Amino acid sequence: MNPNLAFAISNGEPQFLEKSRHEYTNEDNKKANLDNVARDILYKTLDKNMFSKIKICANAKEIWEMLTQICEGNDETKENKLTVAQQKYESIKMKDGETMTEFDERFSAVVIELKSFGKEYSNRELTLKVMRALPREWDVKTMAMRESKDLNKLELHDLFANLKAYEFELETRTEAGPSTSQPTKALAATTTEQCSPSTSKTTDQLSDDVMSLFVKKFGKYLRRSYNPSTS
């Protein structure tokens, strides 16, 4: 901090006023020390390139304003970023194969980005947006939640916690499905065999016919072998 500046309040606005060090009050010294601490924290987070852009700043407030300008850009840049973030929000849908946790992270990231630009939505708006972004197989669950929950009071994290619990329940049922379906398959196979006796009978008849033909031909062969005069 410039040793000739002291923090003061003038007409309700904080500002730094010219004041020699020996004129500092205890409050001035305290403010100066706080500013030094704040600047030290900011300096430690910056690389050489960024530090070169803010080293001319006289105090922590100026450093912060400069960093905000560099990182967020001017009003036009902010407006463009806000437009892009809103487009993400409007078009977001849960992807095929995406878990509810993954969708939660992706949706929340868009909401946080919008908040950083000053755009916020009510609990009801966020809840309805999430519900409309889910695939059709979630319709039963979302309709039940609309009827049983006060969407104006339903926080986003509570909504996703409820959806994740439902997803877990569905996965548990799916995993249990194959073991319970085995008896059904066996029963179906048994029923098929019982209901198709003609198929088994036809196969047996074919086997008997082949054997009879073989016996006849083998008998003729034996007769010719032991009674050559008949040939």
Over residues 7-50, the pLDDT tens digits come to 444 455 555 555 666 677 777 777 778 888 888 888 888 888 88
pLDDT of residue 19: 64
Quickly list DSSP for 61-84: HHHHHHHHHHHH-SHHHHHHHHHH
User: Residue 48 corresponds to which amino acid?
Assistant: K
Band of residue 193 on the pLDDT scale cut at 50, 70, 90: very low
Rg of the chain over Cα atoms, rounded to whole angstroms, equals 41
Q: How far is CA 51 from CA 38, 39, 55, 65, 141, in A?
A: 15, 11, 6, 14, 52
- Tokens describing residue 32: 């100066």
Band of residue 189 on the pLDDT scale cut at 50, 70, 90: very low
Angle 74-75-76 from CA coordinates, rounded to 5° = 95
Which residues lie across from 5 on neighbouring strands? 18
Indicate the average pLDDT of the chain.
77
Task: Record the pTM.
Answer: 0.53
